[in-house]
A and B are shown apart, each in its own frame.
Chain A
Amino acid sequence: MSKKVDLSVNYCGVQFLNPFMLSSSPVSNCAEMVARSFETGWAGVSYKTLVTDKIPIFHPSPRMHGYNYGDKRLVGLQNVEQTTDRGLKPNLRDITWLKKKYPKHIVMASIMGFCNQDWADLSKAVSDAGADLIELNFSCPHMTVEGSGAKVGQVHDLVQKFTETARSVTRVPLVAKMTPNISDINEPAMAAKRGGAKGLSAINTVAGLSEVGLDDFVPRPNVFGKGAISGYSGPAVKPVGLRCVAQMAQNKEHGLPISGMGGIETWVDALEYLLVGATTVQVTTGIIHYGYRIVEDMIEGLSDYMASKKITRVKDLVGKALPRLHETGDFDVKRQGIAKYDFDKCVGCGQCYIVCRDAGGSALEWDNGARRPIHDKDKCLSCMVCSFVCPVSGLINFKEMPKTWKRKETLTLG
């Protein structure tokens, strides 16, 4: 690992050892767990969402449901987990202890109020406990308490009002956590800014319905015969998370720093979030799948990448892909290409032939004797579906064709 690389970042005026944080969830439930995560390499935590003790919180049982793809476990995770089920006082004591024990690590206290006063009380309490940042949870899609979570995040006036309330009682920087379950994520983001937020975080879980029981007809998780649309997370939602972060980062009006999350498991995922505008990244489902240890690979992987690219500061990566993110209308459609095959690598499975015929330009014929596809370049749509199913990496690549090249038109019957 190169020593020249500096992973530290400044987010909302707070200095982080590296961009990697636990997000507010079961993985950040108490000081003992968070302390272990810090020891493993995580630089900060969004501490499991606190509520006042006025309304008791009960978790549905079971809380979660794993969504598998073939033999691959947990490509998605459905959960009906609520805010913390520990008392406010023990949590505040834990936060104070963590800050004392790990002064260089960052504790962002996630809070959720069920009325305006709650937001003030909680903001004050976590500030006094020593939190470095406060994350306002406007985004949990499955709260069992009426008028909370994403229900707030979808009403921009409330986002602004509750942020203002928090602002009025503390100088600790406020981060508004956004729900993806909305048509334009920049509207609540702007409302949060007007209310005095210093930063944004996204995405909370996507409202989802991952599976249905075939014998009991209960959507999962099956909470004693009932299912509910609830938070869906994990690698399957990464494209949604990247989209939301990029949309907020492109919005010059608020210019707030973003903590990105949604399906991050590896340094590559984390880096992609940085490249589309996140300054820090947060992880839960990746930890639910593999444990805190994955941060070791995130740190090492990102450091080696930066060294290989001769980038010394994470700051220089933040938003680096945004200048290349356009509207589809900006594409130069005069330039065209095809799928190019390197048959030396072919193992003869013929999956390309099947999908090209059934889902592409029907540009492939099948040589049954040789067990090889025969490619009619002029019919190729460059949809590239053949390359997605090909089991050999690098066998099928996109190749630009000369401007003079013309694609054959699709055969008309009748």
Chain B
Amino acid sequence: MDDGFSYDQALMEAERCLLCHEPPCSKGCPAKTDPGTFIRKFRMRNVTGAIRTIKENNILGGACGVLCPTCRLCEKECSATGIDKPIRIGKIQRFLIEHSWQVGFKTFDNPMSTDPGRQAEKIAIIGAGPAGLSCAAELAKSGYSVTIFEEREEAGGVLRYGVPSFRFSRSFLKNDLRDLEDLGVKIKCSSAIQKKGDVEKLLEQGFNAVFIGVGLWAPISLKKVPEDDSNIFSSVRFLETFRQEKFKELEKVCRGKIVAVIGGGSVAMDCARVALKLGAKDVNLIYRRSYSQMPAEPDEKIEALEEGIHFILLNQPTDYCRDSKGKLKGINLIRTRLAGADSKSGGSAAARGSGRRKPVEIPGSEWVMECDTAIEAIGNKAAADSGDWYPSVSVNSEMLVQADKETGQTNMEGIFAGGDIVRGPGTVVQAVADGKTAAKSIIGWLEKKRLKPAGYVSSRKEKKV
């Protein structure tokens, strides 16, 4: 991972800040991390205050400082753009978090609330990814007892098992988790809540509320591929294996080989760059639209190209091509051209357009691209059986949980949800925002219940007030 700002660099960048009235950057942050305030505090030599602002507003402030697509969020709104270029807010944020480790400053070394009523109320969080961690932090800060149930061996979700280490050092996650520990959040790993009705059972077992933040972990596949196919990977399996540092296993399929990566998003870039770092002879990234339509961030695309990834654009993969023993030897492709814009709404999340120009296959242009290994990075979906984990909760045809975007409230009283499992694939900072939002509604709901415990009738309308 590249070096962050030094103190001097961060200060120099902060000195450029215009210290706006009603800072537009702060409005540009979905998680309300409030860069306008933390940069001002830093400028006024209130460095610990700046760190506190970040951490209190966004428990994953460090991760967001590194991973946020700032150029289309806070930095896009920056007034300094009117003079020169935007303030590099993400880099300042990352610096402040790294600085807090250096000076040993802990935001949450004292409990923020010791309300015995709240301490007695227990909240279960399903999934220790960005949404769950953020929701947990928010609730714990307000004094509630929070337990996170995580299916995998360690907490972090996509931050641990998704993003490769050259983009995101695990020290950020380690420190963020330590902060959660300071807040008194309990994290139970290897604790899947995936049997039928498990989520509802938590309510019966004495939890006062549940937050579902299980994310999207089932790979979308080009063609139904057997799970044990040793040469065709989903991005989830590929990156998770890399994150678990099982390098030998991956080198077997990468070193000296031709690797094809299917997809044009951030995850596809990550997979391609990992394959190259593991010694692939050539990495061909196949995308059905053109360069400017790729959903990956501009800097990721440029870095991938500069590292030597080949972009095979305007090609649609149709099937895998195997030798007589069934071993992968290539991908069948058909060239495409771009037609008019596809529609922004309607259809499934995966198929839903974004107003980008639509790829149309060119008849007769089929060809085979040789490859030894293929990685599918065309998106994730909810696990097929996820609806069974919480049968009382409404889900749509794609198994996405139906929750109010403003409150995180599901149709089921006491069950809230947020992150990718509600809105489909999104950013870390969006999941953090969802977690915070849901926590606030959970608190509001619990408080109200506490004030009028008898005769209280659940109704979504009332909750919204």
Give A contacts to B, CB under 8 Å.
70-72, 346-351, 353-354, 366, 368, 371, 391-392
Contacts and interface: CB of A to CB of B under 8 A. Distances in A.
B103 to A, nearest CB: 13
Nearest to A392: B83
B83 A351 contact: no
Given A347-B79, A371-B24, A391-B83, A71 B8 contact: yes
B21 A350 contact: yes
Which secondary structure dominates chain A's binding surface?
loop
B153 to A, nearest CB: 43
Interface stretch (B11-19, B170-178, B318-326, B429-437): B11-19
Residue among B8, B11, B22, B43 having the largest count of chain A Cβ atoms under 10 Å: B22
21 contacts: A70-B15, A71-B11, A71-B12, A72-B15, A346-B82, A347-B80, A348-B24, A348-B82, A349-B19, A349-B20, A349-B79, A350-B21, A351-B18, A351-B19, A351-B21, A354-B21, A366-B21, A366-B22, A371-B24, A391-B18, A391-B83
A244 B82 CA distance: 41
A351 B79 CA distance: 11
Interface in B57-81: 79-81
Contacts of A391: 18, 80, 83
Interface in B1-30: 8, 11-12, 14-15, 18-22, 24
Interface of B: 8, 11-12, 14-15, 18-22, 24, 43, 79-83
Most-contacted residue by chain B among A72, A346, A366, A371 (CB, 10 A)? A371
Contact of B43 (A70, A72, A349, A354): A70
Nearest to B11: A71
Contact of A347 (B21, B22, B82): B82
Contacts of A371: 24, 79
A335 to B, nearest CB: 32
Nearest 5 pairs of A and B residues by beta carbon = A350-B21, A347-B82, A349-B18, A349-B79, A71-B12
A391 B17 CA distance: 10
A72 B12 CA distance: 8
A118 to B, nearest CB: 46
A72 B80 CA distance: 19
A350 B22 contact: yes
A347 B83 contact: yes
Contacts of B21: 349-351, 353-354, 366
Q: Which of B20, B43, B81 counts the most chain A CB atoms within 10 A?
A: B20
Contacts of A351: 18-21
A276 to B, nearest CB: 31
Contact of A368 (B19, B22, B83): B22
A371 B81 CA distance: 14
A349 to B, nearest CB: 4
Contacts of A72: 15
A348 B79 contact: yes
Contacts of B14: 71
Contacts of B79: 347-349, 371
A161 B113 CA distance: 74
A200 B106 CA distance: 58
B451 to A, nearest CB: 35
A347 B18 contact: yes
Contact of B15 (A71, A346, A368, A392): A71
B19 to A, nearest CB: 6
Contacts of A346: 82
B123 to A, nearest CB: 36
A366 B20 CA distance: 12
Nearest to B43: A70
A45 B157 CA distance: 69
A312 to B, nearest CB: 39
Given A391-B83, A392-B83, A70 B18 contact: no
Nearest to B8: A71
